[in-house]
Chain A
Amino acid sequence: MQRNPQLNANGELQHLLSVEGLPRETLLQILDTAEPFADVTEREVKKVPLLRGKSVFNLFFEPSTRTRTTFEIAAKRLSADVINLNIALSSQTKGESLLDTVANLSAMQADIFVVRHASSGAPYLIARHVKPHEHVINAGDGRHAHPTQGLLDLYTIRHYKKDFSRLTVAIVGDVLHSRVARSLIHGLTTLGAPEVRVIGPQTLLPAGVEALGVRVFHDMRAGLRDCDVVVMLRLQNERMSGALLPSAQEYFMNYGLSAEKLALAKRDAIVMHPGPMNRGVEIDSSVADGPHSVILPQVTFGIAVRMAVMSIVAGN
């Protein structure tokens, strides 16, 4: 039997590469551990000594502000030393140069690599080559996965809705290109959310998405009905130029979240967005800034979740 590349021989989390394939207990361990870390971020001294003397390398082969910054803050609040590397990707040599880069950083006594890469699977490749005491955390690889975002979404949902067992969650928009959506769908189904819906035009939903255990809606109004949680996905501008979509205005008409459409969801529904938002494209400002929005708390919770992930893997 092939071992799960994320777990060590004792079944403990060694690397965080994807929400997919993680047992329910591991997901719950991360969410439970993030709670006391959320308290730390509200204290006078927002720091604990857990990772003192450890080095965290933020290895970003693709630009990111929020994810890189929250990883950096999380590592610093654990008292680790943080080194940020923004590496422009040279496409010809990536396979080889990627491992060379990592080998060099490893020679500088790295303990944790936080990796963002445009190619799906790059963090897996690194995880296969690091030393036993080194840990890899996927900060987004291609269209594949963005596990810490998925986990912080799960944390946010549990924070506001307490448990998953009665929830209807709708994920709306460009599921096809979204690594966030995949991570979240796997997490929700593993933790027992009874109904996960994806809403979007045919062209932005992956073929066979039903196999992930979701209900598919092309009509947003029908899909939003009685939802507890609405997760809006970013519509990447570059999709607009291709044949996938007619125009931003038309997209907003059909799949943008307005106050009027949100009214179809439950009265206490929460609205989430992984950011960065395109106001007026996938979400109206009145909703993004409105009483149902938990978009900014998501960012704050993201720090606690990343602290939990780093302190769990570094201890295993």
Chain B
Amino acid sequence: MKPLPDAEVLLPKLAAEVRPHVTPASAMIGLYTGGAWLAERLHALLPMKDPLGLMDIAFYRDDYAKQGLKHDPKRTKIPFNVEGRDLLLVDDVLYTGRTVRAAMNELFDYGRPRSIALVVLADRGGRQLPICPQYCGAQVEVPEGMRLRLKRDSDGKLRLELERAA
């Protein structure tokens, strides 16, 4: 198996990929928890006009009937009006696409954006929905039974890590 890519190396490349497409109508939203860390860093690297939005999709998950509500839902904070904006939706790892679908459902309860583009650090394949990223740091192969997660060290450095799926 190939070694995992270095998140700190991917990050500036991803920002460079997004930068030419940032317009005055652009605004960024990160998905808790990993996507929020990534979005904080990207937001600082890009000429964004508005503060960063943060979103927890706990109330929009499609597996509530099976899993129930997770224990510590975070507060969604979108400090700008999404109406007519070009949104950059940021998540750490793209897998089935279900989180992104839930995020889009939640977003539309805040208003009608002009567009939504998906920014991810790593795409591990395995999509179950017709969703694909517009900006992607790296394709990563993940062995069966494992999960790819973004971690943040105490010094704020981001790194990708494999762990056993629950």
Instruction: Enumerate chain A interface residues (CB-CB to B < 8 A).
Output: 12, 29, 32-33, 35-37, 39-40, 43-45, 47-50, 311-312, 315-316
Nearest neighbor of A45 in chain B, beta-carbon distance:
B109
A49 and B68 contact, CB distance less than 8 A: no
Q: Which residues of A contact B67 (CB under 8 A)?
A: 315
- In the complex the two chains form, what is the Cα distance from A29 to B69 in whole Å? 10
Given known A-B contacts A29-B71, A50-B59, A36 and B109 have beta carbons under 8 A apart? no
Choose from A43, A44, A312 the contact partner of B69 (Cβ within 8 Å). Answer: A312
Q: Does B110 contact A (CB under 8 A)?
A: yes
Known: A36-B73, A39-B76, A48-B59. Is A12-B68 also a contact (CB below 8 A)?
Answer: yes
Q: A44-B109, A45-B109, A45-B110 are in contact. Are A39 and B69 (CB under 8 A)?
A: no
Is there a chain A Cβ closer than 8 Å to B72's Cβ?
yes
In whole angstroms, how far apart are the Cα atoms of A12 and B68 in the complex? 10
B105 touches A36 (CB 8 A): no
Chain B 53-96 interface mask (CB, 8 Å, partner A; 1/0): 00010111000110111011111110000000000000000000
* B69 engages A311 (CB within 8 Å): yes
Cβ A36 vs Cβ B75 within 8 A = yes
Q: A44-B111, A45-B110 are in contact. Are A36 and B56 (CB under 8 A)?
A: yes
CA distance A316 to B69 in the complex (A): 8
Report Cα–Cα, A47/B72, bound state, in Å.
19
Choose one: B64, B72, B77, B105; the contact of A315 (CB below 8 Å).
Answer: B64
Whether B68 and A40, one on each chain, are in contact in the complex, defined by CB atoms closer than 8 angstroms, is no
Distance in Å: Cβ of B75 to nearest Cβ of chain A: 5
Q: Which residues of B contact A311 (CB under 8 A)?
A: 59, 64, 69
> Which listed residue (A37, A43, A316) contacts B109, Cβ 8 A?
A43
Q: Which residues does chain B contribute within 8 Å of A316, judged by CB atoms?
A: 68
Q: Which residues of A contact B64 (CB under 8 A)?
A: 50, 311, 315
| Apart from A48-B106, A49-B105, A315-B67: 18 A-B pairs, beta carbons within 8 A | A12-B68, A33-B69, A36-B75, A36-B76, A39-B76, A43-B109, A43-B110, A44-B110, A44-B111, A45-B109, A45-B110, A48-B60, A49-B59, A311-B59, A311-B64, A312-B68, A312-B69, A315-B65
Instruction: Give the chain A neighbours of B72 by CB distance below 8 A.
Output: 29, 32-33
> Residues of B at under 8 Å CB distance from A?
56, 58-60, 64-65, 67-69, 71-77, 105-106, 109-111
Cβ–Cβ < 8 Å partners of A33 in chain B:
69, 72-73
A32 to B72, CA, bound (A): 7
List the B side residues contacting A43 at CB < 8 Å.
109-110
A311-B69, A312-B68, A315-B67 are contacts. A40–B59 as well, Cβ < 8 Å? yes
A298 nearest CB across to chain B (Å): 20
Q: Which residues of A contact B105 (CB under 8 A)?
A: 49
Whether B109 pairs with A315 at a CB distance below 8 angstroms is: no
* Residue with the highest number of chain B CB atoms closer than 10 Å, among A12, A29, A36, A48: A36
| Residues of chain B within 8 A of A312, CB atoms compared | 68-69
**B residues near A47, Cβ cutoff 8 Å:** 109
Q: Closest chain B residue to A311 by CB distance?
A: B69
Some 6 contacts from A to B, beta carbons below 8 A apart, are A29-B72, A37-B59, A39-B76, A43-B110, A44-B111, A316-B68
Given that A43-B109, A43-B110, A50-B59 are contacting pairs, would A35 and B69 also be in contact in the complex, using a CB cutoff of 8 Å? no
Chain B positions within 8 Å of A40 at CB level: 59
When chains A and B are docked, how far (Å) is the Cα of A312 from the Cα of B56? 16
Cα(A36)–Cα(B69), bound, Å: 12
Q: Which 8 A-B pairs have the closest CB atoms?
A: A315-B68, A45-B109, A48-B59, A315-B69, A36-B75, A36-B73, A311-B69, A316-B68
Docked CA distance A220–B60 (Å): 48
* Chain A residue contacts of B71, Cβ below 8 A: 29, 32
- Select from chain A the residue with minimum beta-carbon distance to B67: A315
Query: CB-nearest residue of chain B relative to A315?
Result: B68
Out of B60, B65, B68, B75, name the residue touching A39 (CB < 8 Å).
B75
Q: Which A residue's beta carbon lies closest to that of B109?
A: A45
B108 and chain A: residue at smallest CB distance: A45
Residues of B contacting A29 in the complex (Cβ-Cβ under 8 angstroms): 71-72
